[in-house]
Amino acid sequence: MLNFKNWTGKQIVDVINRSLEIKQNPQNYWKELEARSLAMIFQKTSTRTRVSFEVAMTELGGHAIFLDWRATNFTLADIYDETKYLSRNVDCIMARLMRHEDLKVMAKASRVPVINGCDEKYHPCQAIADLMTVKEVKGNLEGVKLVYVGVHNNVCNSLIEACTKVGVRITTVTPLINEPSKDDELIKAAEETGLYENTLDVRAAVKDADFVYTDTWVDMEFFLDPKYAKEKERRMNIMMPYQINAKLLRESNAYVMHDMPIHRDYEISAEIIESPRSIIYQQAENRLHSAKAILIALLKK
Ligand code: CP
């Protein structure tokens, strides 16, 4: 699961439904992946992706191995060779890498499923948890309107791809794009469904939205980097009028989503995070239940 290019809407919906069922009855799955192992390899920091997949494997009766990229021989050798070895010792690999191209090499080398734990282009695991949360809150997916307000990035790509495959209408309000996340093919495919549109009129977009979603304006690896300070300031100036706050949502009944980590009072105001319309922590919790469903879908094929 590197992205959703080869996934049908039905396959995505099946994983979402399984996620909801697992959340209701976790005990029914305690032995589902007994004696199976997952390697989790990270080139970048993580809280949710690491914790959710590790706990998921434990609660499914299996085992997860955390590998910090810098402490492995992936730093010295070919990704292809190291992955070939790794896939002979584990049943699945979940990797958070800097470059999608490297993830493709990994997938080619591996004889077990490879899950994209977020790269510069896609974050498919996040999108599954997001749509699970949408279905949990609204009871359905088709016809729901989700508005993504922020920088067009990896999370935005996967949301567009997943939403348009399962019948969710998605509008993006993205004054800036993270150039490395650009995927014209994905946008073209989304446009062809008639479910995707892009606008800069944020007020009109959020007015009839069921969900308003935002994400960091600066990728995690740059947020605290002094070399990136000027670009960070430029982005803040452009993006501040698009902050998710009470004023923007005055005429909207939308629930508010954020994939976390949050930068309070940048992309979203603190008062909205704490308000009753925020489903951010429920969404983050759902990373666990959906990680289980993803693992089962890939390992029990
Ligand atoms: N949303 C998300 O992927 O969180 P982490 O970066 O903490 O894994």
Per-residue pLDDT, 12? 98
Sign of CA pseudo-dihedral 45, 298, 156, 20: negative
CA of 114 to the centre of ligand 1 (A): 18
**For position 223, what pLDDT does the model report?**
76
Across 99-121, average pLDDT: 98
User: Same domain, yes or no, for 135 and 115?
Assistant: no
Beta-carbon neighbour count of residue 251 at 10 Å? 9
Q: Which residue has tokens 């993205």?
A: 174
Is residue 4 a part of any domain in this protein? no
- Is the pLDDT at 220 greater than 80, yes or no? no
Q: Do 104 and 21 reside in the same domain of the chain?
A: yes
- Å from CA of 150 to ligand 1 middle: 17
Mean local confidence (pLDDT), 86-97: 98
pLDDT for 228:
84
Do the domain assignments include residue 2? no
Co-location of 138 and 250 in the same domain: yes
Testing ligand 1's pocket by substitution, the residue of 68, 118, 153, 218 carrying the most ligand atoms inside 8 A of its CB is 118
- Is 3 part of any domain? no
Residue 219: per-residue pLDDT: 80
Question: First-to-last CA distance in the chain?
Answer: 13
Mark whether 132 and 268 lie in a shared domain.
Answer: yes
Q: Which atom of ligand 1 is nearest to the CA of 123?
A: 3
Provide the sign of the torsion angle of the four alpha carbons 293, 160, 260, 255, taken in this order. negative
The CATH code of the domain that includes 229 is: 3.40.50.1370
Ligand 1 centroid to residue 121 C-alpha, Å: 14
Residue nearest to atom 3 of ligand 1 (CA): 49
| Ligand 1 site residues, Cβ closer than 6 angstroms | 46-49, 118, 126, 259-261
Dist. CA 38 → ligand 1 center (Å): 18
For 276-295, the pLDDT digits (tens) are: 999 999 999 999 999 999 99
For a ligand 1 pocket test, name from 40, 42, 44, 47 the mutation site with the most ligand atoms within 8 angstroms of its C-beta: 47
Q: Do the domain assignments include residue 279?
A: yes
Mark whether 277 and 294 lie in a shared domain: no
- Tell which atom from ligand 1 comes closest to the C-alpha of 117: 3
| Atom 6 of ligand 1, residue of closest alpha carbon | 46
273 in a structural domain: yes
* Average pLDDT of span 231-242: 94
- Give the containing element (helix H, strand E) for 128: helix 124-138
Tell whether 174 is covered by a domain. yes
Q: Are residues 73 and 159 in the same domain?
A: no
Residue 141 and residue 248 in one domain: yes
Q: What is the mean predicted confidence (pLDDT) over 222-243?
A: 90
Model confidence at 225: pLDDT above 90: no
Do residue 162 and residue 277 come from a single domain?
yes
Same domain, 260 and 208: yes
Question: What is residue 39's predicted lDDT score, i.e. its pLDDT?
Answer: 98
Better pLDDT: 208 or 219: 208
- 179 burial level (CB within 10 Å; 0-12, 13-18, 19+): exposed
Residue 172 lies in a domain: yes
Measured from the Cα of 52, ligand 1's closest atom is 8
What pLDDT, in 10s, does the model give residues 42-52?
999 999 999 99
Q: Work out whether the CA dihedral 10, 15, 16, 20 comes out positive or negative.
A: positive
Which structural domain, as residue segments, surrounds residue 50?
9-122+287-299
What global pTM score does this model have?
0.97
Beta-carbon contacts of residue 29 (< 8 Å; ≥ 6 apart): 22, 59, 60, 292, 296
What is the average pLDDT value for the chain, to the nearest integer? 97
pLDDT reported for residue 214: 98
Q: 131 and 270: one domain?
A: yes
Residue 94 has pLDDT above 90, yes or no: yes
Which residue is closest in CA terms to ligand 1's atom 7? Answer: 47
Asked if 107 and 254 sit in the same domain, the reply is: no
Distance 251 CA to ligand 1 centre (A): 30
Structural domain total, the chain? 2
Q: Which atom of ligand 1 is nearest to the CA of 284?
A: 1
Instruction: Kindly state whether residue 1 falls inside one of the protein's structural domains.
Output: no
For the chain, percent of residues with pLDDT exceeding 90: 94
Looking at residue 65, what is its pLDDT? 98
CA of 221 to the centre of ligand 1 (A): 12
Whether 183 and 268 share a structural domain: yes
Confidence of residue 87 (pLDDT cuts 50, 70, 90): very high
Number of helices (H), then strands (E), in the chain: 11, 9
If you measure from the C-alpha of residue 83 to the centroid of ligand 1, how many angstroms do you get, rounded to a whole number? Answer: 23
Instruction: State in Å: Cα 230 to ligand 1 middle.
Output: 25
Beta strand spans in 92-239 (E): 92-96, 114-116, 145-152, 169-177, 196-198, 211-214
- CA 244 – ligand 1 centroid, Å: 20
